[in-house]
Amino acid sequence: MPPAFAAAPSSSICGVRIPTACRFEAQSTVSAPRFLRNWVAAKTRSASAWSLKAGLWDSLRSGFLKSNNSTETVEPPAAPLEVEEPLPVEIVLLERTLLDGSTEQILFSSAGDVDVYDLQALCDKVGWPRRPLSKIAASLRNSYLVATLHSIIRSSETEREEKKQLIGMARATSDHAFNATIWDVLVDPSYQGQGLGKALMEKVIRTLLQRDINNITLFADNKVIDFYKNLGFEVDPQGIKGMFWYPRF
């Protein structure tokens, strides 16, 4: 992922900027809000699984069905359905030998293993303004998905000695059925330019799709729109615009 995407996000849990609207979510500085939508169908799943273009508004109006010019409210099930919690995923994205002979692994995880102090330090590295740790913890706790990148360095002398460092994160909120929005995408500046931001986003998208959530949005700055387009996002799909409420007092 290009360095810009993590340097000045528009919607960070550590920052205070008002986000720009997009589909498949990420942070960046905001000039004018824009709405991005992800059409990854052709790239990541079979065409039969991707009726997003025709069904965007149907998905957004998920509580209603249209039939013969009349609108019917879909009645909720009599008893709540039991949903099985998806198992967290851990994948080694990269393994390499460093100059001192130690080995480094870059590990992707969807287990939500984030220490708020480590996250605050990462936010500091990318220049995001600080926010209260209690709010950072609440945002992580209330997220549907928290994905991380960790660097794990093992000494050449003994494999038992290891140093684990948080180098990237992205999270998503969701209604657990139709829609998800990705927030707070960041990668340690010393690890940018290596394709890790792209890999992080691709894993987050794939995880949401595997959970049968196809309507994915995000917020992005103008200078990183091309990055997200390459991941399958579309600006203002079907003319849909993101809208933001601002206090008038």
> Catalytic: 191?
no
Ramachandran region, residue 127 (left: φ > 0; alpha: ψ -120 to 50; beta: rest): left
Beta-strand pair 215-218/70-73: unpaired
What is the phi/psi pair of residue 48, to 5°? -65, -25
How many other CB atoms sit within 10 Å of the CB of residue 155? 14
Spot the catalytic one: 144, 191, 228, 246: 228
> Six-digit token pair at 37?
């939508």
Looking at residue 101, its amino acid is G
Burial class (CB in 10 A: 0-12, 13-18, 19+), 196: buried
Where does residue 237 rank: exposed (0-12), middle (13-18), buried (19+ CB within 10 A)?
middle
Catalytic residue list: 228
